[in-house]
Structure formats: structure tokens, C-alpha cells
């Protein structure tokens, strides 16, 4: 078995011309594990937890599904003109153990694990899991950077108050985050919102909590370029946390999710929006709500893995592209 990673700058993925993509450990993009390196600049962290869902469960299996679907990712990103795995030491940090029977304890476990990784200097891109996990990740990032510009891609606002009396669920993380002072009220934005709401008060509450909205109707009417301009103007140069619910994509592009809504973004539009973040002060990110039981031919997980790749690329420093032979 030839499973030893081949260095391309920092320790990176194996050479696919020598080690088939379908073989070996299924780390994200076949990256080295965190225990194989001396340091990590960027860490991909899994949180297999979905006890906060209100509709279809299954996102607890998202991290492994996305990792499996990331095998085809290659070292050079031609659109962003960067080799993310050479410009930074990127690793797979494995999964957080999150109690499936106690949401409060699970949230604490996620925050503790995130702190352990970021206190050593790594920035996180987290694979969910359901959107509940955004709250502890925001707590950890805000503890270091202060109130954050939250860039939230989603079909839904996720600023509702409670479900069945529970205040911490996948539909409430950004309300709790705003109430806790984690959100920059002048710089946060939802992208891709669509579908029905419980009432007009949802929009009033959301505005009070510090968010503005670029809905899918605006993207259709004015184009992705105009949406990106609004997004970047809102974020400014603030420390930014990016949270992406895969259901921001239309169900034709992401059927494998818990609360699908018709009329969403295409995967091409979402990738373009994420690429536009290069050069911004990105302090962390998550991609959540991939539920493989509803996925077909890995459509959703492939989209999620490419979104994560673009996030990692946007978070790496500029570096001249190396030879495309390594890791091919």
C-alpha cells in the first residue's frame, strides 16, 4: 500500500498518479491528518451532530459523506490562482465527539474542540452536522476577534426564537449569537434567503438582530454580480465568519439536505460568491446540513466539498502556483 502523503510545499495530498483517489484514508481532499504534521494553518473539522433538526434528520453523517466526495479535488485552484495546500498547512482534524442526546453538552463539546484547535493558531472550516453547530463556532471565533461580520448563506433566516420551547436548534443559532453580542450588527448579511415564513415579524426580528438580506429573487433579477457587490459592501473589512447551509442551493443542485426549498442558487452562483471573498479577513467558516440519506450520486456532497475547497483557497495567502505535476 502506497498511502504516504507526498509533500507539495507543506505536507499535502498523495500523488493521484501513484495512489488512486478511491484508495487510502478518506480525509478531506486526501489531506494529512492533524497528527501527521507539526502545525496547522487551516483545519477541516467534522461535527457529526444533527439533534437540533426540526424536519429531516441525517446530517450527522454529513462529514464522512463530504470527505468521501472530496477525493477528486486537486492541488491547484485556477480561478483563485492559488495552491491552497502548498500556500498553507491544511489538515483534516477529524471529528468532534458531540453528545447526540444532550444539545447543551454537544454545543459545549464543539466550542471546546474549536478552542483547542484555534488556540494553536489554526483557522477552522467545519463540516456539519446541522446548523446548531454554528453557535459554538461563533462563540469561539468571537472570543478572539470580537463581534463578527456574519455572512450566512441559507434558504432560511435561522433567527427564530424557539422550537418546542428549545432555544438552541438549527433554526435559532443566529438569534442566540446576536443576543450574545457575537454578531456585528452593521456588517452581517443573509444570502440566498427564499421561501415562506411564519409572518412579517420574522423579517422585523431579523433586521433588529443585525442582518440584511439578499434573497434569491434579487439574485435572479439583478444577477450574481450585483449580489456580490452588496455582500462585499456590507462586510467591509471586518473579521468575517462564513456559515453556509447547503440548502441555499436549489434542490436540483443539493437534494441531500434536511429542509429543501425550491428556487435556490445554482452551485455555480454559490462558488462565484465564495470566490469573491478572497482577500477578506475570514476567521472561520462552516458548511452544514448535508444529509446523505437524501443525496443522489453524491450531488450534494460534491457541491459541499467544492464549496469547502473554495473557502480554503480564499483563506490562504497569495503564493505563486507550483508545478501541476504534483498531486495531479
Question: What is the total count of domains within the chain?
Answer: 1
Section 64-83 average pLDDT: 97
Question: Rounded to an integer, what distance in angstroms lies between the CA atom of residue 236 and that of residue 280?
Answer: 8
pLDDT averaged over every residue in the chain = 94
Query: pLDDT value at position 9?
Result: 54
Is residue 320 in some structural domain? no
Is residue 18 in some structural domain? no
Q: Which pLDDT band, with edges at 50, 70 and 90, does 326 fall under?
A: very low
Is residue 104 in some structural domain? yes
User: Cell numbers 478531506 label which residue?
Assistant: 28
Tell me: the pLDDT tens digits for 187-212?
A: 999 999 999 999 999 999 999 999 99
Is residue 57 in some structural domain? yes
C-alpha cell at 298: 453524491
Is 70 exceeded by the pLDDT of residue 325? Answer: no
Q: Which range (7-21, 85-99, 284-298) has the least confidence?
A: 7-21
Is residue 321 in some structural domain? no
φ, ψ of residue 41 in degrees (nearest 5): -85, -40
Q: Which range (24-33, 99-108, 255-264, 307-316) has the least confidence?
A: 24-33
CB-neighbour burial class of residue 198 (10 A; exposed 0-12, middle 13-18, buried 19+): exposed
Section 241-249 average pLDDT: 98
C-alpha cell at 224: 450574481
Question: Rounded to an integer, what distance in angstroms lies between the CA atom of residue 286 and that of residue 276?
Answer: 17
3-state secondary structure of 242: strand
**Could you tell me the CATH number of the domain that includes residue 105?**
3.40.800.10
Question: Rounded to an integer, what distance in angstroms lies between the CA atom of residue 156 and that of residue 170?
Answer: 10
Is residue 222 in some structural domain? yes
Helix or strand run (H / E) with residue 275: helix 267-275
Does the model's pTM come out above 0.85?
yes
More confident residue, 7 or 83: 83
Nearest alpha-carbon partner for 130 in 154, 150, 148, 162? 154
Is 80 exceeded by the pLDDT of residue 239? Answer: yes
Strand partners, 211: 188
C-alpha cell at 47: 461535527
Is residue 284 in some structural domain? yes
Residue range(s) defining the domain that contains residue 66? 28-315
Question: Rounded to an integer, what distance in angstroms lies between the CA atom of residue 195 and that of residue 158?
Answer: 13
Tell me: the pLDDT tens digits for 3-56?
A: 544 444 578 888 888 888 888 889 999 999 999 999 999 999 999 999 999 999
Query: pLDDT value at position 7?
Result: 43
Is residue 16 in some structural domain? no
3-state secondary structure of 149: strand
Q: How far, in Å, are 7, 129, 211, 268, 293 from residue 257 at the CA level?
A: 35, 11, 24, 18, 9
Amino acid at each position: 500500500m502506497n498511502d504516504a502523503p507526498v509533500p507539495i510545499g507543506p505536507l499535502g495530498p498523495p500523488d493521484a498518479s501513484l495512489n488512486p483517489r478511491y484508495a487510502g484514508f478518506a480525509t478531506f481532499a486526501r489531506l494529512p491528518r492533524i497528527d501527521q504534521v507539526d502545525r496547522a494553518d487551516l483545519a477541516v473539522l467534522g461535527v457529526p451532530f444533527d439533534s437540533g433538526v426540526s424536519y429531516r434528520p441525517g446530517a450527522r453523517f454529513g462529514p464522512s459523506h463530504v470527505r468521501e466526495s472530496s477525493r477528486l479535488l486537486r492541488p491547484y485552484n485556477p480561478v483563485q490562482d492559488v495552491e491552497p495546500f502548498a500556500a498553507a498547512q491544511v489538515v483534516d482534524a477529524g471529528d468532534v465527539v458531540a453528545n447526540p442526546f444532550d444539545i447543551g453538552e454537544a454545543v459545549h463539546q464543539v466550542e471546546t474542540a474549536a478552542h483547542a484547535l484555534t488556540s494553536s493558531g489554526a483557522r477552522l472550516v467545519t463540516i456539519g452536522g446541522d446548523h446548531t453547530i454554528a453557535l459554538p463556532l461563533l462563540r469561539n471565533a468571537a472570543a478572539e476577534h470580537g463581534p463578527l461580520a456574519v455572512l450566512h448563506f441559507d434558504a432560511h433566516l435561522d433567527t427564530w426564537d424557539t422550537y418546542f420551547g428549545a432555544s438552541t436548534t438549527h433554526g435559532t443559532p443566529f438569534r442566540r449569537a446576536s443576543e450574545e453580542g457575537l454578531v456585528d450588527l452593521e456588517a452581517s448579511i443573509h444570502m440566498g434567503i427564499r421561501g415562506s415564513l411564519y409572518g412579517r415579524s420574522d423579517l422585523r426580528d431579523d433586521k433588529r438582530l443585525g442582518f440584511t438580506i439578499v434573497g434569491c429573487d434579487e439574485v435572479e433579477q439583478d444577477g450574481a454580480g450585483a449580489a456580490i457587490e452588496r455582500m462585499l459592501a456590507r462586510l467591509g473589512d471586518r473579521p468575517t465568519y462564513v456559515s453556509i447551509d447547503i440548502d441555499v442551493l436549489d434542490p436540483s443542485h443539493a437534494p441531500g439536505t434536511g429542509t429543501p426549498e425550491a428556487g435556490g442558487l445554482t452551485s455555480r452562483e454559490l462558488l462565484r460568491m465564495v470566490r469573491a471573498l478572497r482577500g477578506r479577513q475570514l476567521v472561520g467558516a462552516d458548511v452544514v446540513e448535508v444529509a446523505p440519506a437524501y443525496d443522489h450520486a453524491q450531488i450534494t456532497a460534491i457541491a459541499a466539498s467544492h464549496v469547502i475547497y473554495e473557502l480554503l483557497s480564499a483563506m490562504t495567502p497569495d503564493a505563486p502556483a507550483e508545478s501541476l505535476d504534483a498531486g495531479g
